[in-house]
Amino acid sequence: MFRINKLTDYAVVLLLDMARAGQVRAAHQIAADTGVPVPTVAKVMKALVRAGLVRSTRGSSGGYVLARPAESIAVADMIEALEGPIALTACVLDADDTCEREGFCPMSGHWNRVNTAVRKALTGITLAEMAARPAPASWRAQPATDPGGVFRRPAPADSGPALA
C-alpha cells in the first residue's frame, strides 16, 4: 500500500521525542519514553546518526540529541536516512552515468517527474511542524480529500509504531 518502512515510522516517533526533549538522553531513556523496544531504538539511532540528523555522545552519560534545529529536518530527510534515496523506481537511483537505453525506454524520464513531485511534497513538512502539539490550523482547515480527515488505527493491540 505504498508504505514507508516500520523502522522509518519509528524514526519519526523518536525524532519527535528528541525534538521535544531538547537535551542529550540515552537510548534507553528514549525507549522508555516512547515505548519503542531498546534494541530497535539503537538500530534506528545508528541510521539517524549516519545520516547526520542526530548527534551522539559516547561514554557514560552519553546519548543522543538532534544535530540541527527541528525546523531544518524534513520528512524527506527522515525517509532518506532510513531507506536511502527517494526513488519510486529503480530507474532513477541518483547516479552519474546515464541510462544506456535512453531514447528507447518508453518511460523517458517521466518517473523522474513523479519522483520530483513526491520529494517536493516530503520536503515541505518539517519535524518542527510535526512537533507542534496542536495540529496546525492549515491542516485542520484544509478540505481534505478523505471525508472528515480523521485517522484511525486498525489493530488496537499489536499497536506498532506511530504512537507512544
Partner DNA sequence: CTGAAACGGGACCAATCCGGTCCCAATTGG
Partner DNA sequence: CCAATTGGGACCGGATTGGTCCCGTTTCAG
From residue 57 to residue 96, the character string flagging contacts with DNA as x (rule: CB under 7 A) and all else as - is: xxxxxxxx------------------x-------------
Grid cell for residue 89: 523506481
Cβ atoms of 73 and 126 within 8 Å: the answer is: yes
Q: Does 18 bind a copy of itself (CB under 8 A)?
A: no
Q: Does 50 bind a copy of itself (CB under 8 A)?
A: no
Stretch that binds DNA, among 22-30, 120-128, 138-146, 149-157 (CB under 7 A): 22-30
Beta bridge pairs of residue 25: 64
Beta bridge pairs of residue 66: 54
SS3 state of residue 111: helix
Stretch that binds a copy of itself, among 21-29, 43-51, 56-64, 113-121 (CB under 8 A): 113-121
Among 24, 47, 112, 128, binds a copy of itself (CB under 8 A): 112
Q: Does 42 bind DNA (CB under 7 A)?
A: yes
Q: Does 10 bind DNA (CB under 7 A)?
A: yes
3-state SS string for 16-42: HHHHHHCCCECHHHHHHHHCCCHHHHH
Cβ atoms of 83 and 8 within 8 Å: the answer is: yes
